[in-house]
Structure 1
Amino acid sequence: MYYSNEKERTSELDLPVSIETKKLPHATSKVKVYYPVVVHLQNTNAQSTINHAIVTTLNEILVELGFHDANLLELIASYELKTNQRGILSLNLIVYSFTGGAHGMTIVKSLTFDTKTGKQYELKDLFKKGSDYEKKLSDIISQRIKDWNIELLEPFKGIRSDQDFYIADTSLVIYFQLYEITPYVWGFPYFPIPILDLADIINPDGPLNRMMAFT
């Protein structure tokens, strides 16, 4: 493809957004909190919206895991970037805390954004309206559970409409929290699903369709 100028070429490529790592002020030896901040976006409103969502979600997790608990022995927060291209940012916030007992507790929460508008995607936004995406995803995961001999706490009944997810390369990854469907020893059950397997129900205006170019 021919590009008349550098600006046109860069726009077409949808280069990754810039991310800086911030550390929570006043951290102690037992509390270390690192989180991502989007910087240098041309759309400053989108940048503010994304960063506000990240900090709000992180704060909710910190409170849930005992950030203010007098018995807190250790708390570590970090993040992972899963997708940062074609105007899509998908990331995981990971928080571990230990307040005593046999083991600590970890929560992973994923956020997926349109970096041009700041829109945060819910699972339903990835699929065509009226499509039975919950059933399709549940059927795929149910088969994986059988194929991988995953031990369950109770029979699998399907995903929630707002099930945790992130986008990684050419896959949609559906996952479950600790104890949500499996015993603690199984950790976080992750189910990567190739985007091509969902092509018939993908929202043409959603993030999965943008990633189809890489399949």
Structure 2
Amino acid sequence: MDLPVSIVTKRLPHASEDVKVYYPVVTQLPNLNVQSTINYAIITTLNKILVERSFYDKDLVELLAYFELKNNQRGILSLNLIVYSFTGGAHGMTTIKSLTFDTKTGKQYELKDLFKKGSDYEKKLSDIINQRIKDWNIQLLEPFTEIRSDQDFYIADTSLVIYFQLYEITAYVWGFPYFPIPIKDLADIINPDGPLDRMMAFT
């Protein structure tokens, strides 16, 4: 069984005490090229979010960036990068971006990589989400039709979690709409060479 990878938390220096940026660094992988590939993807994605959340703007009042590990087993690392910033106004804004890697090869998975080619995974996931929206009586900004082909996701043990950014489908008060979907419910369409198949052993 693949052991969890070692993660070290580092902080990005900033002159203001109200700006705190914590980010993960993968260490001690046997393949340094894979380790570098994963860490480069993490820092590149984080920087894009920091730009979006006004890290480099003079009007920035407060910013907090941190991460959450969602899966670190069976050679699959899935994590969330979370950045909250406040530049004035009624409230701050938060962005969450998830990254999922094969820790042996450094491959970063997109949503489409999780499923068989031609499986129409967007429709299956969208149907499940639509039902959850009805069951949970989630108030939408406009009728939900279908997820994006590159919809935000992460893997958490035996579930695939699809989620939406603030204001993407709901008002701010609803926060981030998360939709955990048991992997076993997707067994007929998952890619046998993808990360979900590896996690099936836990279901």
Shorter chain as denominator, the TM-score bin is: over 0.9
Q: TM-score if structure 1 supplies the norm length?
A: 0.94
Q: Measured at CA, do residues 27 and 141 of structure 1 come closer, stay the same or move farther in structure 2, by a change above 3 Å?
A: farther
- Maintained 8 Å contact 1:175/1:188: yes
Asked if structure 2 preserves the Cα contact closer than 8 Å seen for 1:27 and 1:33, the reply is no
1:209 to 190, 197, 200: 197
Q: 1:165 maps to what in 2? A: 153
- Which of 106, 113, 121 lines up with 2:101 in the alignment? 113
Equivalent residue, structure 2, for 1:188: 176
- Residue in 2 aligned with 1:80? 68
* Cα shift at 1:74: 0.1
- SS of 1:23's partner is strand
Taking the TM superposition and a 5 Å limit, the aligned residue runs for 1:94-173 are 94-173=82-161
- Kindly indicate whether the alpha-carbon contact (under 8 Å) linking 2:158 and 2:182 is maintained by their aligned counterparts in 1: yes
Q: 1: distance between equivalents of 2:11 and 2:111?
A: 29
Deviations 1:121-168 (A, max 9, x none): 000000001101000000000000000000000000110000000000
* Segment drifting more, 60-69 vs 171-180: 60-69
Counterparts of 1:212 and 1:66 in 2: how far apart (Å)? 40
Unaligned runs of 5+ in 1: 1-12
Query: Is the partner of 2:101 in helix, strand or coil?
Result: strand
* Aligned counterparts of 1:154 and 1:165: Cα–Cα separation in 2: 21
**Structure 1 residue identity aligned to 2:14:** H
Q: Which residue does 1:44 correspond to in 2?
A: 32
**Alignment pair present for 1:28 and 2:16:** yes
Residue 14 of structure 2 contacts residue 20 of structure 2 at CA under 8 Å; is this kept in 1? no
For residue 54 of structure 1, give the secondary structure of its aligned residue in structure 2.
Answer: helix
- Give me the whole-angstrom Cα distance separating, in 2, the residues matched to 1:78 and 1:59: 12
Distance change in 2, residues 1:87/1:99 (3 Å): same
Instruction: Kindly indicate whether the alpha-carbon contact (under 8 Å) linking 1:175 and 1:190 is maintained by their aligned counterparts in 2.
Output: yes
- Following TM superposition, by how much is the alpha carbon of 1:25 offset from its aligned partner in structure 2, in angstroms? 2.1
Q: Secondary structure at the match of 1:58?
A: helix
| Amino acid in structure 2 at the alignment position of 1:93 | L
Distance in 2 of aligned mates of 1:212 and 1:33: 34
TM-score w.r.t. structure 2 length?
A: 0.99
State the percentage of identical aligned residues.
Answer: 84
In the alignment, residue 105 of structure 2 is paired with which amino acid?
A: T
Spell out, residue by residue over 1:147-197, the C-alpha distance to the aligned partner (whole angstroms, 9 max, x if none): 000000000011000000000010000000000000000000000000000
- Residue by residue over 1:49-104, the C-alpha shift from the partner in whole angstroms, topping out at 9 and shown as x without a partner, is 00000000000000001011111100000000000000000000000000000000
In 2: Cα distance, 1:98 partner to 1:188 partner? 17
- Is the Cα contact below 8 Å between 2:159 and 2:181 reproduced in 1? yes
Aligned residues: 203
Kindly indicate whether residue 81 of structure 2 is the aligned counterpart of residue 93 of structure 1. yes
Poorly superposed stretches of 4+, deviation over 6 Å: none
CA contact (8 A) 2:101 2:109 kept: yes
